Amino acid sequence: MCNGVKKIITYAQKTSPSLKNTQFILELGRFLVAQSGVYVAKIRDIKVSRGKKFVILDGGMNHHLAASGNLGQVLRRNSIMYPLKIRETNELESVNIVGPLCTPIDRIATDILLPELRIGDFIGILNSGAYGVTASPLLFLSHNLPSEVFVTDNEIKVIKPSNGIQYEEYTMSSSV
C-alpha cells in the first residue's frame, strides 16, 4: 500500500506544480482497525412479511450504524456476517437482517444468503472494529446499550457491560 500511495503523491506533485511543497497526511483509522472487531447480535424474532423473511436482531443501527449502511454510504451493501451456530444443513436461504428499531433504515442486510437461523442464535458481523458504538445513535428510540467485550487468545474481558442500561441511567452517569 505504501508504494502505491507514494506513487500517487509523486505523480500529483509532478503534474500539479501547486502541490509541489504540499505535505500529504493520510488518516487510516478504519483501514487499520475495522477487521479487528466483530459485532455480535442475538436473534430476537423471525417474521415473514409479503413473502420475505425478516430476522430481527437485538441490536442494529442503534449499536452499529456503519453496518446498516447509514454512515454516509452512497451505495448500500450487505455487511459480511455469519451465524455463530453451525447446523448440519448446508442449505442457504434468502433473508433480511434487521435491527429492533421501528424504522425502515434499521436494516443490516437485504436478501442475503445464510444457513438456517433460529430465534436465540447469534450472528457475527465482521469488520466492526471501527465506527461501531462510537458512531452510532445509541439512545435512538431508548433501546439498551450494547456491551463491549475484548477477546484476546483465550481471555474474554467485558470492557463495558450493558446490564440493560436504559436512557435515564445513561444520561445521569454521562453528566456526572
Per-residue pLDDT tens for 20-53? 888 888 888 778 888 888 999 999 999 999 999 9
pLDDT at 1: 62
pLDDT at 48: 98
In the chain, % helix, strand, coil (3-state, to 5) comes to: 25, 30, 45
| pLDDT-derived band at 8, boundaries 50, 70, 90 | confident
Per-residue pLDDT tens for 96-117? 999 999 889 899 999 999 999 9
CATH architecture, range 37-143: Beta Barrel (2.40)
Per the prediction, the chain carries an average pLDDT of 85
- Taking the C-alpha atoms of residue 157 and residue 91, their distance in angstroms, rounded to an integer, is 35
Instruction: Please give the single-letter amino acid code of residue 81.
Output: M
User: CATH 2.40.37.10 spans which residues of the chain?
Assistant: 37-143
State how far the alpha carbon of 121 is from the alpha carbons of 46, 78, 104, in Å. Answer: 11, 19, 23
Residues in Cβ contact with 111 at an 8 Å cutoff, skipping those fewer than 6 apart: 52, 94, 95, 96
Q: What percent of the chain has pLDDT over 90?
A: 35
Per-residue pLDDT tens for 73-88? 778 889 899 999 888 8
| Residue carrying the nine cell digits 511543497 | 21
Q: Is the pTM of this model over 0.85?
A: no
